[in-house]
């Protein structure tokens, strides 16, 4: 059908219908606590890519709808004497423009470059602009209200009921500035509950029910300043996961100081040894752990603060390989090998974990490789290190190898390329990348 003036209006109207129909799905993909995880097994951070792509499509639909309505004004309303200013000041149009601006600002402030440079501003804008956009969309057109109501319900349940109520714990934590003077170790003792209240069993576990390797929590430290009362920042849990019979467990976080929250925490830790914190979580998927548990040889590569992912992952993978389940294999020769490669920039960075923890890993049978610091000796050949480990571990015959890498982008690419060459060489190897970034 050719594009005519009546069809222009229909086209603009249909793009708006597509937009509002996807609003609930947009907020569902953004929620930390959602039914999709129970249906698919994918955690919220895996679904976040769908949230971002859907948001981009919806912003495009909003622009097309706006352009179409301007076209309707130009072809129908302008000839009968309605000026552009009069058209734009019509209540329904004005509210629509406000919603368009809010959603387009959401898109631009959600770009990776903006998030990485101004993360705290991104957090504030993302929440406030979502609320403003929903309110404007509600009043823009009565047909959007069922969809806006569902989206608002999803947002409130996730933010208020789950993340500020049922899954949040307030605890006292110790603070320690490490030897490099730029990192804070935050430790807190978690009293583990063997049985949770009915509501917590229904909606999902909190941190008092324990955690598994590679999971993360959202940390809030109200004592830093007023603005930090409502801010929650994600950090990977850097301590090994508790066992079922444990009554208490230590939860450790490695906070590398930069600008904003982490810098404020470092300054606070220089004059305080403890602080009250709120922990929301745990969250995250265990794809890397499940892969390692199914392999004969586990290789975990960490770069810098990637040790926060690697350390609990190594403990969990090694424990799963040991018959007694305690993480200490009785027969080291017959036990599947677990290897940790940790690349650090400075020697003092090993204090993030502690020499005693590294020695405990070695005593339990884990092979720990820490090349000389890159600041003094340059970057090591990670591919060569992985190759020597894999060749040595498979010298007695065929073995399935699982490799997990948590480090900067350059290291991740190098590890991927190494695994591709191993596959070409006939090795049975799987790889999982735990990438930094939110």
**How far apart are alpha carbons 411 and 413 in whole angstroms?**
5
pLDDT surpassing 60 at residue 69: yes
The predicted pLDDT at position 98 comes to 95
Q: Is the pLDDT of residue 263 over 50?
A: yes
CA dist list (Å): 15 to 22, 147, 320, 436: 11, 15, 52, 36
The answer to whether residue 100 scores a pLDDT higher than 50 is yes
Which pLDDT band holds residue 5 (cuts at 50, 70, 90)? low
- How high does pLDDT run on average in the chain? 86
In this prediction, residues 93-109 reach a mean pLDDT of 94
What pLDDT was estimated at residue 53? Answer: 93
For residue 334, what pLDDT is reported?
47
Residue 324, pLDDT > 90, answer no
CA distance 310 to 312: 6
Torsion of CA 127, 129, 133, 135, to 10 degrees: 70
Weakest-pLDDT range from 69-83, 184-198, 237-251: 184-198
pLDDT at 247 over 70: yes
Q: What is the pLDDT of residues 387-403, one digit of tens each?
A: 888 888 777 767 888 99
Asked if residue 274 lies in contact with residue 173, where contact means CB atoms within 8 angstroms, the answer is yes
CA 90, chain centre distance (Å): 42
Alpha-carbon gap, residue 100 to 102, rounded angstroms: 5
Q: Where are the beta strands (DSSP E) in 347-410?
A: 367-369, 400-406
Q: Cα 45 to the chain's mean position, in Å?
A: 5
State how far the Cα of 390 lies from the Cα of 227, in Å rounded to an integer. Answer: 49
Entry field: residues in the chain: 438
Q: What pLDDT is stored for residue 391 in this prediction?
A: 82
Which pLDDT does position 287 carry in this prediction?
84
Q: Which of 44-48, 334-338, 348-352 has the highest mean pLDDT?
A: 348-352
C-alpha 299: how far from chain center: 23
Confidence of residue 205 (pLDDT cuts 50, 70, 90): low
Distance between CA atoms of residues 429 and 354, nearest Å = 31
- Looking at residue 370, its pLDDT comes to 93
- What is the per-residue pLDDT for 79? 87
Is residue 63 predicted with pLDDT exceeding 90?
yes
CA–CA separation, 130 vs 152, rounded Å? 9
Q: Which residues contact 335 (CB under 8 A, 6 or more apart)?
A: 321, 322, 329, 365
CB 217 within 8 A of CB 282: yes
Query: Would the pLDDT of 423 be above 90?
Result: no
Least confident range from 91-105, 178-192, 281-295: namely 281-295
**Listed range (31-40, 161-170, 381-390) with the worst mean pLDDT:** 161-170
Question: Which one is predicted more confidently, 350 or 168?
Answer: 350
* 315: pLDDT strictly greater than 50: yes
173: Cα separation from own chain's centroid: 23
User: Cα–Cα distance between 375 and 48 in angstroms, integer?
Assistant: 35
Cα dihedral 320, 322, 323, 325 sign: negative
């Amino acid at each position: 059908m050719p594009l005519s003036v009546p069809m222009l209006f229909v086209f603009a109207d249909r793009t708006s219908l597509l937009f509002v129909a996807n609003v609930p799905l947009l907020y569902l993909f953004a929620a930390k606590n959602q039914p999709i995880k129970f249906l698919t097994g994918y955690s919220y951070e895996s679904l976040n890519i769908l949230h971002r792509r859907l948001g981009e499509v919806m912003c495009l639909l909003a622009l097309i709808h706006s352009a179409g309505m301007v076209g309707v004004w130009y072809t129908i309303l302008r000839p009968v004497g309605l000026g552009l200013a009069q058209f734009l000041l019509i209540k329904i149009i004005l509210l629509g423009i406000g919603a368009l601006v809010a959603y387009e600002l959401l898109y631009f402030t959600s770009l990776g470059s903006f998030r990485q440079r101004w993360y705290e501003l991104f957090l504030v804008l993302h929440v406030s602009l979502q609320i403003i956009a929903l309110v404007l969309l509600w009043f823009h057109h009565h047909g959007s209200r069922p969809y806006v109501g569902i989206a608002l319900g999803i947002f409130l349940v996730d933010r208020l009921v789950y993340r500020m109520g049922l899954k949040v714990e307030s605890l006292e934590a110790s603070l320690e500035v490490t030897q490099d003077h730029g990192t804070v170790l935050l430790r807190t003792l978690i009293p583990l509950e063997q049985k949770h209240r009915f509501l917590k069993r229904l909606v999902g576990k909190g941190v008092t029910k324990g955690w598994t390797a590679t999971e993360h929590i959202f940390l809030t430290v109200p004592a830093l300043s007023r603005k930090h009362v409502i801010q929650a920042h994600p950090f990977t849990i850097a301590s090994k996961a508790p066992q079922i019979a444990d009554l208490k467990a230590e939860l450790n976080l490695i906070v590398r100081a930069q600008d904003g929250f982490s810098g404020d925490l470092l300054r606070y830790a220089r004059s305080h040894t403890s602080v009250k914190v709120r922990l929301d979580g745990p969250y995250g998927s265990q794809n890397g752990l499940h892969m390692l548990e199914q392999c004969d040889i586990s290789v975990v590569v960490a770069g810098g603060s990637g040790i926060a992912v690697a350390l609990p992952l190594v403990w969990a993978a090694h424990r799963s390989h040991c018959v007694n389940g305690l993480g200490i294999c009785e027969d080291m020769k017959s036990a599947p090998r677990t290897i940790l490669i940790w690349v650090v920039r400075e020697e003092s960075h090993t204090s993030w974990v502690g020499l005693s923890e590294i020695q405990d890993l070695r005593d339990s049978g884990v092979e720990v490789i820490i090349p000389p610091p890159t600041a003094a000796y340059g970057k090591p050949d990670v591919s060569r290190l992985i190759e020597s480990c894999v060749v040595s571990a498979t010298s007695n015959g065929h073995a399935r190898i699982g490799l997990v890498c948590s480090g900067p982008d350059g290291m991740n690419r190098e590890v991927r390329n190494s695994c591709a060459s191993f596959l070409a060489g006939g090795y049975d190897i799987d790889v999982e990348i735990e990438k930094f970034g939110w």
